[in-house]
Structures are given as C-alpha cells and as structure tokens.
Structure 1
Amino acid sequence: MLPSSNRIVQALPMLNRLWTPALLAWLVLLSACETMGPGQPSVDRNALRQEAERLLEEDELEQALQIYSQLVGTASGSELSGFLMAGAEILMVLGAYDTAGEWLARAGNDATPDQAQGILELQARILATRSQVTASLTRVALLLPLTGPQRQAAIAIQDGFLAAHLSPPEASGRGSPALRIYDTGLLGAREAYTAAREDGAEFIVGPLLKPELDAIMGSAGTTPTLALNTLENGQTATNLYQFALAPEDEASRVARYAVANGALNAVALIPRNDWGNRLLGSFRTQLEALGGRLLQIRTYDPAGQDFSTAITAVLNIDRSDRRRQQLGADLGIPLEFESRRRQDIDAIFVAADAGAGRLLAPQLRFYFAGDIPTYATSAIYESSRQNGDLNGLLFADTPWVLQEQAAPPALAATLHRYWPQRTSAQWTRFYGLGFDAYQVMSELHVKPNSLSSFPALSGELSLDETGRVRRELPIAQFQDGSPVTIPPEAGVAPESTAELAGLR
C-alpha cells in the first residue's frame, strides 16, 4: 500500500531530484530487469515485500523502488504483475510517468481480473496527471474556427481542451495557466496568431485548418506552437509542432497490421478525390516499405451507390467475364460459366466513409471477396448506427472511441453529463484531440522537441524528428454490427471475415 495522500504530497519535492545519480541508477536497474526472470537466484520475496512496505510507510520511496526492482526480476505470473503495479505507483509519485506506463504494460501480461482493473485505473491516473503538469507556463492561447463551416468540430476540440485545462492540479500543486481563445473564423488565422503573440501567449495551440496553418507560417518561429493539422510535404518550422487526427496515420496503421498478419499482396478501392489519394499514398508507402505490393487500384464515385464497375475491375472479374464471352463467341454456343475473382489477393484496402462503406462491403461479398480481409480507416465508423453490413471489416481508430476505459472515469462522466450530444464517435475523436493537445502542450513546454511515447485518448503519442506528433492506434473489427478491439499481442489474428459476414 502506498503512503496516504498527504505523504504523497510531501514526496512530490523529489520531482526536482528525479534525475539524481542514485535514482538514475535505479531506473537503469529497472531497465535491466527486462532481461531478468524467474530463473534468477531464489530470494525471500515475502521478506523483501514486507521491507518495501515498511519503507513506503516511512516515505523512503527510492529505497522501496529499488526493492521492487529486485522483486520484479525474480517473480512470475500474477505475483510479478503485483510487484510491477506497486513499482509503477512509486514511479508515478516520482514523476517518471513513461517508465510507470511501461511497467503497467508489462503487468497486464499475467494480471488477474482484479489486477487488470487496477492497471486500467493507474493508467487513467497517469493520463489525468500528465495533463496537469504545466511547469511555469502562465499564458496559453487556443486558436480555433469557432464560426464558419468547421464550427462544430472546433467547439468539440475547445471543450476537450477546457476539460484538461480546468482539471484540478492535484499532482503539480500549481494553478492552471491563463487561457485565451481566439476565433480564427472571425479574425482570420494570421491576425489571431499575431494577437495571441502580442497578448503575451507563451504557448499557442492551433490553428485547426490547413489553409490557416499555411497562413501563419510566415509568423511562426518565436512562440512555441502546436498546430492541430499538418503541413504538406514534410514542411516544418522552428518551434512549430503538428498534431492532427490525420487519416493518413490510420491508413499506415492498417497497412502495418495487414503485413503483420501475413498480407503482402493488396488491392485498393478509393474515392475519386484528394482524400482518397492521400489515404492511398499512406497505405501504399507503408505496405511497400514492409515488403508488400499493391497489385491494383480502382477509383469509385463517392456520390454513387453501385460500385460494381470498380469492384469487378479490381478483382479481375471483368476479365473473367470477357473471357467467357470470347470463348462463347468462338464456339458459337452458350456456356455455363461462373465468374471468378483473382486468387492472389491477401487484403483489400477501402477508403470510404460510413455511408459508402455500408454499400461497398455487401457488394464486395457479392463479388466473391467476402473471405478477403478488408481494411479501412475510422471514417467507416459511426457509433450512432448499427453496422451489420460492415461485419468482418477491420479499421484503426482512437482508443477512446474503441475502449471506454481509455479515458479517466471522471472525464468520461463529465463528457456524458455536460456534452451528451457529443458522445458519438465523430465528436468523441475531436474532444479527445482537444484534451490530448493540452497534455502535449504541457509536455513540450517542459521538454521542448521531446515527447516520450505515452498513452492518450487519441492513441499512443510520440514526437518524430520533424516535430509531428505520431499516433499508434488500436485495430478493431466489426462483429455483430459493433466494433470489437483486437488485442495487440503478437499472433492474435482477427476473426474470419467470411464467418462474420455469414458466408460460412
């Protein structure tokens, strides 16, 4: 059992000593434990555990952590999970959230049901605490198009940002920075950005839209800025970070998942528009980087309902039909013939929104492709509707949309209480983006150009060398009309697409 809350508060000054030589040595020891196991020389784990608990009661957290490091290297099963959880709690008090998250991830491997619930609660505490650490940040600006066509998305992002901003600063002991919100739809992006800087903002979050981001590029550089979109062609600037719910991330993620499950030969169906081309580019780049091949691509009219021309072409069924017609003409007699699709396809990538997806999926099954794993992005999913037509289809989405426990319970309850109209998948994603943007801003203010991977509502977040926040996303599969998250463990394959679609 950890010390009582007042002892935890008293221990917080150790945050200033987080990277002392002693603690650094212990963290190195923790990393070394990764290679240790039950085969190590036997120790009296019960005596060591009692000693660790005694040290905790005396607020000797660093010494207790050293003992749990030793216990982790000698235990297995649920006992190991318990030691990892106890060590993670100490690491959280010391502010080592990344290492605590790694310990909790390991603890989940052999956890009992009660331990698994405890792990979820601890991960939620990490998520909530990280959003509250703002160091000496005193003035923050949020730039969003609160008037105009993107108003609803902007309001959802604003609500999530405010939820993080107004969270009680339990762990940090500091008050929240002053926040000022600027409407780029009313002021213009360049004017709003200039006003935020002149008003003394120490960190700017936004703007949201690509044209707005292009508009501020001439002014970016002096004030740290977290844009809520991405620049084209890998562009970047000093002090400019980019964080977006980019569907390209999702296309890359499903490509990695497909290859990991043995799919190296794929075909793609995309709408005839810029969105479809961007998703295709990301999927193709990732697939080919991993040794896969994109055998064929066909486009469809996103406003249409009959996609048979594109489907039969991408599956080579049209060639099969032409061969039948040619053979019948050559022989001069009618032929009994069943169309066949090509047999060299391991996966199908479909870029489609929910409406087009509900039409495409049944037509793919009609043309004999129901047994081929089919992948999409989060645009395919609208939680407010039944999605039985999509059974078997796989897609990437944010943890909060797919796993309710990804959000701190208090945050989820607040969303459902005060913003019930925004609990559909679409608004949940934007709300999570706003909440996570506050966390990312806080981290980057403390450690510029550095963002260690951590779990958030929008995915597992990390920062690449160009200043872009990358998201690693869970994969889900439609089963009985609802998305079911596929466990991330290696070797866990999705359910048979054909069986889920009722073809077997």
Structure 2
Amino acid sequence: MRAIFRLVPVLVLLAGCAGAPVTPEPASDRTAAEEALQSGDYHAAARLFEGLAEQARSPQREEYRLKAAQALIQAGLAGPATRLLQSVDSSRLPADLAMQHQLLQATVVVSEDPDLALSLLARPAAPENETALHARFHQLRARAFSELGNHLDAARESIQRELFLTDIKDIEANQLVIWEALSNLSNQALEQLRVRPPPSVLSGWMELARIAKDTEQPAVRIAERIDEWRQRYPGHPVLEPMLKAIEIKSKALALQPGHIAVLLPLDGRFAQAAEAIRDGILAAYYDSAQRHNVTLRFYDEGSPDEVLARYDTAVNQGAEFVIGPLGKEAVRILAREEQLPVPTIALNHAEPSASESLFQFSLAPETEARQIAELAWLEGHNNAAVLAPAGAWGDRVRESFLQRWEELGGTIASTSEYDAEQSDFSDPIKRMLSIDASERRSMAVRDVIGRQVEFEAYRRQDVDFVFLAAFPRQARLIRPQLRYHRAIGLPIYATSHVYAGHVDPAQDRDMEGIIFGDTPWTLNAETSHAPLRQKVRTVLKRHTGSLQRLVALGLDAYLLVPRLSLLDSYPNDRFQGETGNLHVAPDNRIQRQLVWARFKHGEPQVLPRTLFAEPIEADDARE
C-alpha cells in the first residue's frame, strides 16, 4: 500500500539504525545510494543498493538488501520489497539487522493485514539498548492495533514507545498519538477500561481524556479537576504544554451557546431530508446534560429569496449560533454575505464563504469521489477506468474523481457512462474495457478472409481498477456484468451510494468485493458516540436507508456547535463524528474522512485499515 505520508519518516528512522561491522566497499557507490535514498529517488536507491549487495559478503550483503527493500517500500513497490525481504535469512543476522528485517516486514503488511503485522512483531529481535529500533517496534504495534480499531492497546503501545524516545519533538508527537487514540473511546469505555489505580501512566491518560471529553461540566470546574488529576498522578509524563492545551480546549468546549437556531425547509421536496436532519439534531440535544441551559428553535428556511430574512429573524430573536440552511441555492445566497453576525453551519456546499463566520458541512458525493481517488492511489493503483451514470449527478462525481486522480499523478485509462434506467450495461462496460474494439477487430478479420473465425474477446490490460458511481439497483447489476466481461479480479471502488444503508445479504450478494466509503453511523463503526447511535436507531426507525446518513448529519451538526471554534483555531484537530472524522479546511468547509468497507457475502465489512486516515497532498505523488 502506498502510504507514503506514513512510511517516509519511519523508514528514514530505520535508515539511521546502525548495522553490524561490514566489508569495505567503494565509498562512492555507497554514497550515491545513500544520497539517492535521501533525495527521494527511491528506484535508483533500490537499484544501487542491490548492486552493492551483489558485490558484498554477509552480513553486509543483507544490510544492503534491507536498504534496497526500504527504498522499494518508499517507492510504493510492496511486492518487490516483500520478495527481497524473503530472500534474506534473518536467523543468521546480527540482532540489529534481524530487527530491521522484522520491522520492514511488518511495515509492508501493517495496513492490509494488521494481524499478520502483530504476529511478526510478537517480540523484538534486538535488545533494548537498540532504542531507535524499539521505538519503531512499538510504533508499528500501535499502528496495527489502530488499524484493528483497538484504540486502547494502540495507546498502550505508544506509551511504551515513549520510553525509548529522547527528543522533545518526538515525545510531543507521540503524546498526540496517545491522545488521539484515547479520544476515540467513549466516556463509558474510558471509565470501564481504566482498571489500574494511580500512578499507572495509562490510567492517568485515560482519566485525563475522560475529563476533556466531559462537555457537560462548567468551565470553572475543569481547572479544578485537572488540579485534582495532578495530585493523583504527580509523576505522570504528560508534557506541561499539552496539559495546558487540554485545559484550554476543555474550557472552550464547555462554552455552549445559550440559543441555537435551526433553518430547515419544513415542506417541499427536501422536507423528508430536513426531517431526518432535524431528528438527528434533537437526538443530540436531548442527550446533552446542558439542554436545560440551551434554547433550541427551528425556523422554516423558506425559498432562497427568503433565507436572509429568516436568518435575520432568528438572530434578532436571540440566536447565538445558526445551523442551516439546507438548500444549495439558499447556502449560495448566504455564502455571498460578507458579514454574518453569529457562527453558522450551513448544511450544503456552495461557493466559498465570504464571511469567516460561515462554515459549510454536507454529505457531498464529490468529497467521497476525491477520497476514493486518494485511497486507490495509496493502494498502489496507476490506471483508472471510470463508469458513471449519464446526467448531472454522474458528471459531478466523475469530474471530482478525475480531477483528484490526475492531481495525484494517476492515469485515466478510460471513461464510460451508462443509462441508469436500463438493466443491461453491457455496451458501456464493453466501451470502458475496450471489449467492443476487440470485437470489431474480429469482425474485420472475418470480412477480410470471408469466413467465420474462432474468436474470444479480451479486455484492455492497462486498467488497474474501476471507479464506479452508482446507486444500489445499478451496482447490483453492474458488478456481475463486469465479471461476465472478463473483469474478474479487477478492484472496484464506489461511493456510499452503492449501499442502501441497511444489511441485506440477499439483495447485495452480487456486489461481492466492491470497496466503498461511508459514514461510521451507517457502517456501525466504533466511535465515541456509538452508545448514542444505538439509542437513536431504536427510536428513529422510520428513517430508513440513506435517510440514516442525514440523521447522522444533523447529530454531528449539533455536536460541532461547541467544537467549531476549536477546530477552526487548531487545523490539526479532529472531531470523531458519526458522518466521519471531521476537520475544518482553510476554505471553511467541514471535511469528513470516510470509513472504508468491502462487501463480503452480501454484507459490508469495515476494512482493517486506519479508519480515519488523513487526506494526502498532491506532492506525495510518486517520484
């Protein structure tokens, strides 16, 4: 998997680990290889190190092969790296090289098979005086546990890692990892799993996370609770600046606006969607212990021409925060206002906001398409085939995917569109896979020789994967038709729209293997608000299918109210919501990171990779 943004700093660390005494080699050759590795020319570095290995004796030969494998991993070439690592017999290596071999093997598989990574990392192959290697050992174990959704053990491994760190910046970064892992746990889990008394370091972190997550406490009480925590854990390793930041953020979270207005269309074509969003907002409101201190009032957003007047009415009646409107045109009108008197979360995307007070939050399919491009890129694909429906929705999704894919450096092998009203998608599939061209060539040969020829059509071989934009009915038909047209084994990535929002193995068995992104709410993925989700689902059974995603949107919109200023002030902060892992982008759009799942036996299975991965930059594209 091409997780460049994760692997580069890790492998640089491995590069600095000392090897065993080695046989002399031409200094210029080794220097050239090291310089290629440091400059990011990983293909050249791998080639040079493999050349050095051919000329060297053991154990220097194995050291060079490990360096070559490291370069291949950084180049995104997991397959060749694995084969090279398999050629190294670690049982005959000095302890430090044996552990480097162990760590590289785990690095290759940790995203796709975290259980295998943990088995490879059952025990360190070198003594503890190899501090850099042991720090990496625990970092990889933490990563594997995180991939599996085991946030507690991920935090525990990061705490162990800190014992091998000396640089203050490394310690600060590691403590952020601990904090993020524990922030994924619900309040109930933080209470129940904290079984060891002070001075347990892990229990100290867990109690601190519990204090920070308690948004129901008054601001003045937070400082008192942190002082009490200091007395119970006097020797705790948490850094003072981080403790201060936790206190500041916790106080900010306690400052809930006293009057919140919600603008939604109460009738018309969006009324059903608005009702689901409203119920999500109400669920979050009634779950809050502070609800008695908050006035929550709903307004009809009216037509786009009326939205500014309705907004002003809400503010004049005391609103300190506004959620809505929902309609795209209404959001567009609000986005043009240079001054808005109170913070506002609009529930759709339009043009960039002129006012710093307006934030845009939605379940836009364009965002999902861009994230699919990033996932496919990180998983090592190069050439995309795109199959999308004709019409405005298909155009939007296709163009968003194509734009992001090309930004990352990917190649578009082919695109094809289909009529969503049909059931036979053979023609667009054949066009996408160039099977129709193969058939035309056969007909041309038959015409030339004047008789029938034995012929089997074949698909183009330069396609790595298919990006599919479809709703459940179409996806259930397209997947088996792709198999029929010789696309067996070709990965298929899709937006959340392929999934109806409820488990139905009988209907969805034909979508076997499709990978798609969706909300934690829909996929029942673990989040800190999972207990609330279960309560809401029990009560709001009338919202079925895709409407469940809108319930989650409403719930997150309300939960963001006290957190918005923090997310805006701290760009690296994240809020683990029910629509995804949320952060505020520089353009004031609230971006969400999806959870990834694959259909297996007709049911979506959450994939064992980091559920809330960070978006990648175009500069992370391969050299």
Tell me, yes or no, whether TM beats 0.5. Answer: yes
Match of 1:288 in 2: 406
SS of the residue aligned with 1:340? coil
* Matched ranges for 1:6-405 at <5 A: 39=128, 73-74=162-163, 85-95=202-212, 133-169=253-289, 175-185=292-302, 188-219=306-337, 221-232=340-351, 234-384=352-502, 385=504, 386-405=507-526
Alpha-carbon shift at residue 337 of structure 1 (Å): 0.1
Counterpart contact for 1:134–1:446, Cα < 8 Å = no
SS of the residue aligned with 2:452? coil
Alpha-carbon shift at residue 41 of structure 1 (Å): 10
How many Å separate the matches in 2 of 1:87 and 1:425?
A: 41
How many Å separate the matches in 1 of 2:495 and 2:287?
A: 32
Counterpart contact for 1:315–1:342, Cα < 8 Å = yes
Counterpart contact for 2:582–2:591, Cα < 8 Å = yes
Counterpart contact for 2:529–2:577, Cα < 8 Å = no
SS of the residue aligned with 1:268? strand
How many Å separate the matches in 1 of 2:130 and 2:269?
A: 66
Match of 1:471 in 2: 592
How many Å separate the matches in 2 of 1:93 and 1:406?
A: 15
Alpha-carbon shift at residue 344 of structure 1 (Å): 0.6
Amino acid in the other structure paired with 2:342: T
How many Å separate the matches in 2 of 1:224 and 1:266?
A: 41
SS of the residue aligned with 2:384? strand
Greater relative contact order structure (CA < 8 Å, 6+ sep):
1
Counterpart contact for 2:325–2:347, Cα < 8 Å = yes
Distance 1:235 1:179, change over 3 A: closer
**Which shows bigger deviation, 412-421 or 395-404?**
412-421
Amino acid in the other structure paired with 1:320: S
Q: Deviations over 1:363-383 (max 9, x none)?
A: 111111121101110010014
Amino acid in the other structure paired with 1:215: I
SS of the residue aligned with 2:386? strand
**Which shows bigger deviation, 408-417 or 248-257?**
408-417
- Structure 2 residue 607 is the aligned partner of structure 1 residue 486: yes
SS of the residue aligned with 1:421? coil
Name the larger-Rg structure. Answer: 2
Counterpart contact for 1:148–1:185, Cα < 8 Å = no
- Structure 2 residue 460 is the aligned partner of structure 1 residue 460: no
How many Å separate the matches in 1 of 2:538 and 2:293?
A: 23
Alpha-carbon shift at residue 277 of structure 1 (Å): 1.4
Q: Deviations over 1:83-123 (max 9, x none)?
A: 675243232244279xxxxxxxxxxxxxxxxxxxxxxxxxx
SS of the residue aligned with 1:148? coil
Unmatched tracts of structure 1, length 5 or more: 1-36, 43-67, 98-125, 493-504
Counterpart contact for 1:462–1:470, Cα < 8 Å = yes
Counterpart contact for 2:575–2:582, Cα < 8 Å = yes
SS of the residue aligned with 1:333? coil
Distance 1:282 1:410, change over 3 A: same
Alpha-carbon shift at residue 359 of structure 1 (Å): 1.6
Alpha-carbon shift at residue 195 of structure 1 (Å): 1.3
Alpha-carbon shift at residue 40 of structure 1 (Å): 7.0
Counterpart contact for 1:134–1:176, Cα < 8 Å = no
- Structure 2 residue 532 is the aligned partner of structure 1 residue 443: no
How many Å separate the matches in 1 of 2:204 and 2:308?
A: 48
How many Å separate the matches in 1 of 2:566 and 2:459?
A: 56
Counterpart contact for 2:348–2:360, Cα < 8 Å = yes
Counterpart contact for 1:40–1:74, Cα < 8 Å = no
Distance 1:419 1:311, change over 3 A: same
Distance 1:41 1:94, change over 3 A: farther
How many Å separate the matches in 2 of 1:420 and 1:38?
A: 56
How many Å separate the matches in 1 of 2:353 and 2:391?
A: 23
Counterpart contact for 1:374–1:393, Cα < 8 Å = yes
Distance 1:250 1:271, change over 3 A: same
Number of equivalent positions: 392
Amino acid in the other structure paired with 2:299: Y
Match of 1:14 in 2: none
Amino acid in the other structure paired with 2:579: S
Alpha-carbon shift at residue 441 of structure 1 (Å): 1.8
Q: Deviations over 1:277-303 (max 9, x none)?
A: 111122112222222111211111122
Q: Deviations over 1:176-199 (max 9, x none)?
A: 421110122479423321211221
Counterpart contact for 1:461–1:471, Cα < 8 Å = yes
Alpha-carbon shift at residue 470 of structure 1 (Å): 0.8
Unmatched tracts of structure 2, length 5 or more: 1-125, 132-156, 166-177, 182-193, 195-199, 215-245, 614-623
Q: Deviations over 1:177-231 (max 9, x none)?
A: 2111012247942332121122121111111120111233354522211111111
How many Å separate the matches in 1 of 2:465 and 2:580?
A: 24
Distance 1:425 1:405, change over 3 A: farther
Amino acid in the other structure paired with 1:444: L
Distance 1:327 1:136, change over 3 A: closer
Alpha-carbon shift at residue 425 of structure 1 (Å): 4.0
Amino acid in the other structure paired with 1:237: S
Identity between Structure 1 and Structure 2 (%)? 34
Q: Deviations over 1:146-165 (max 9, x none)?
A: 21111121111111111111
Counterpart contact for 2:389–2:419, Cα < 8 Å = yes
Q: Deviations over 1:25-55 (max 9, x none)?
A: xxxxxxxxxxxx994799xxxxxxxxxxxxx
Alpha-carbon shift at residue 432 of structure 1 (Å): 1.0
Counterpart contact for 1:206–1:225, Cα < 8 Å = yes
Counterpart contact for 1:353–1:379, Cα < 8 Å = yes
What is the alpha-carbon root mean square deviation over aligned residues? 3.3
How many Å separate the matches in 2 of 1:274 and 1:245?
A: 17
**Which shows bigger deviation, 353-362 or 313-322?**
353-362
Counterpart contact for 2:335–2:350, Cα < 8 Å = no
- Structure 2-normalised TM-score? 0.58
Counterpart contact for 1:400–1:407, Cα < 8 Å = no
Amino acid in the other structure paired with 1:270: A
Alpha-carbon shift at residue 236 of structure 1 (Å): 4.4
Counterpart contact for 1:144–1:206, Cα < 8 Å = yes
Distance 1:306 1:70, change over 3 A: closer
